[in-house]
Amino acid sequence: MKLDIAPQLPDRLDYRIGIIGSGFIVDDCHLVAYRKAGFNPVAIASRTRQRAGKVAARHGIGRVHDTVAQLLDDPEIEVLDIAVPPNAQLGLIRAACERGKVKGILAQKPLGMNYAEAREAVARCDDAGIVLSVNQNMRYDQSVRAGKILLDQDVIGTPVLATIDMRGIPHWMPWQRDLGWVTLRIMSIHHLDCFRYWFGDPEGVYCSVRPDPRTKFPHTDGICAYLLTYPDGLHCSGLDDTWTGPAREGCPGDIRIEWRIEGLNGLAIGNIGWCQDPYTTPSSIRYARIGDDDFHRPEWQESWFPDAFVGTMAQLLRALETGAEPEIGGADNLKTMALVDATYRSAQERRQVRLEEILNP
């Protein structure tokens, strides 16, 4: 069968995009993807003009603002692409809403420091008439989208068990040392959102965490295991192991992210290419149904990083065109943020936490 995993582009590609931030995710992902798709970034600002200028020169952005405030005041910008640490994001969304100049905002995940901040961000954008979307870019990993197609077309039957097993060593950002949290809001949020993308909202989650021995600053959520339960009996489990054994200390490593969905009529297994060398390695999938002699193994050239970032911007631009909700809209993302908060509460209180406890306290 054909797996149509390519994101649908807007009819209009020339929406004028203003970029806030100039780190790796902007320089090596957002702007590489935008140029490939034919999008139109016209201005950039960051903490320092020098850094913003280097990124602008690399990617052919014509306007570099001295300050973020100047960019927010730029009347030419239609869409704001915010790529800053979570503790700075809500303030920028507030400022953009107060000005009311832009039509849409693509915010980074996590959408703030917690569910409460995310809820405020969504409310402010609603009040300002600004379409808010969240860069949950794993939804546009090619294998993840292929898995969604298999589920939607009932290829492998009713899902029984789904797992995501991450054995990877992320590069922690300096701001994480100040915030005191590591994996759940940075890596696990991808996987929790992915489960929601595939299966909808769970009833609740049980989570257990321990520190990562390699990460020296104080934290609790280094290595995380969690179980999501659904009314129909479906179980989804994630293990996010940022230690992976002493792979950085001289032991041979087994670095990978693998997902698996088992259905009544078949199964699908995906491998995420992001943690491979190079990081632009395409993800892969293999799937089989009752009666198949072997796995089907579709292939593609695109990779999660940077190609998924075409999809995250495209779905916002299409929402602006059509007036429909973005595929990864702010209101929908509130449930992902609530699920992340539920994992923290579960780990602290050592019990299953229902999603409704966070959504309707």
**Does pLDDT of 131 surpass 90?**
yes
CA distance to 9, 132, 184, per residue, from 181 (Å): 36, 25, 8
Q: pLDDT band for position 51 (50/70/90)?
A: very high
Question: How many helices and strands (H and E) does the chain possess?
Answer: 12, 14
The C-alpha atoms of residue 61 and residue 205 are separated, in whole angstroms, by 44
Pairing status of strand 131-134 against strand 104-107 = parallel
pLDDT of residue 84: 97
| DSSP states of 13-38 | ---EEEEE--SHIIIIIIHHHHHHHT
Token digits of residue 70: 């100047």
Q: Of all residues in the chain, what percent carry a pLDDT higher than 90?
A: 95
pLDDT of residue 276: 84
| H or E segment and range at residue 314 | helix 304-322
Q: What residues have CB less than 8 Å from 257, skipping those under 6 apart?
A: 164, 165, 166, 167, 168, 271, 272, 274, 275
Phi, psi of 287 (to 5 degrees): -145, 155
User: 144-182: b or e for each residue (b if 16 or more CB lie within 10 Å)?
Assistant: bbbbbbbbeeebbbebeebbbebbbbbebeeebeebebb
**Cα dihedral 121, 95, 21, 71 sign:** positive
**Does pLDDT of 11 surpass 90?**
yes
pLDDT of residue 279: 76
pLDDT of residue 29: 96
- Across the range 17-43, mean pLDDT stands at 97
**Does pLDDT of 356 surpass 90?**
yes
- 137-183 pLDDT tens trace: 999 999 999 999 999 999 999 999 999 999 999 889 889 999 999 99
- 76-88 pLDDT tens trace: 999 999 999 999 9
pLDDT of residue 275: 84
Q: What residues have CB less than 8 Å from 150, skipping those under 6 apart?
A: 3, 156, 261, 268, 287
CB 102 within 8 A of CB 78: yes
Q: pLDDT band for position 122 (50/70/90)?
A: very high
For the entire predicted model, the pTM comes to 0.97
The C-alpha atoms of residue 46 and residue 19 are separated, in whole angstroms, by 8
Tallying the residues shown for the chain, one arrives at 361
- 246-289 pLDDT tens trace: 999 999 989 999 999 999 999 999 999 988 888 789 999 999 99
Look at residues 26, 62, 21, 27 and name the one whose alpha carbon lies nearest to residue 45.
Answer: 21
pLDDT of residue 171: 85
Question: Domains, the chain, ranges and CATH?
Answer: 16-134+309-328 (3.40.50.720), 138-297+337-356 (3.30.360.10)
Tokens 């020169």 correspond to 57
Other C-beta atoms lying within 10 Å of the C-beta of residue 348? 12
pLDDT of residue 361: 86
Burial class (CB in 10 A: 0-12, 13-18, 19+), 258: middle
